Each structure stands twice: as C-alpha cells, then as structure tokens.
Amino acid sequence: MMNDLEKAIKTLRRLRDIQGDSCNTNDTYMIGMYNGLEVGLSVLEDRDGDFKECKNDIIDIETNTTLDEKGNKRNVIIFKP
C-alpha cells in the first residue's frame, strides 16, 4: 500500500508527464511549467533533473518580439535590472 509521499510523487510524475507531452518547445511559459514540476520531482526522487530547453530564444530587442511555433511575431516582455 502506498504512503502519502509515494502518492504525491506518483501524482507529480503524472502531472509532469502530461505537461511534457502537451508543451510546445517554443513556449517559454509551458517549458517553465514543465521544468518547475521536474525540479520538484527530482528533489523528491533524489536525482538530477531532466529539463527541457526552449528552442525559441532569439528576441528582437528593437521590437521586443520573438517568433512563435508557426513563425508569427509575438510580443515579449523584457525586464531590465
């Protein structure tokens, strides 16, 4: 019978897998969501994380835009310290 920690790990793994299957590797928000779930899971499982990388990391700093997965421009927010 599973204890509470095992149930939590199983649920977190399922959520991470669902997020990984549905996330687009050009979408920084969705990649961040996946990676956050992976951080939590890797800590609980005492292992190194297996993180996804965003393929779309080119930002036009003149127009603050990048390209989405279909090649359309989209606005981005750039935070400057």
Q: Is 62 part of any domain? A: no
pTM above 0.85, yes or no: no
Strands 65-67 and 73-75: antiparallel
Q: What is the pLDDT of residue 62?
A: 78
Interaxial angle between packed helices 4-22 and 28-44, expressed in degrees from 0 to 180 and rounded to the nearest 10: 160
10: domain range? 4-56
Reading the chain (81 residues) residue by residue, the pLDDT tens digits are 779 999 999 999 999 999 888 776 667 788 889 999 999 999 999 999 999 887 665 667 777 777 776 777 777 776 665
Q: What is the pLDDT of residue 75?
A: 78
Q: What is the pLDDT of residue 25?
A: 67
Q: Is 28 part of any domain? A: yes
Domain count, the chain: 1
Q: Is 12 part of any domain? A: yes
Q: Is 81 part of any domain? A: no
Q: Is 79 part of any domain? A: no
Q: Is 67 part of any domain? A: no
Q: Is 63 part of any domain? A: no
Q: Is 48 part of any domain? A: yes
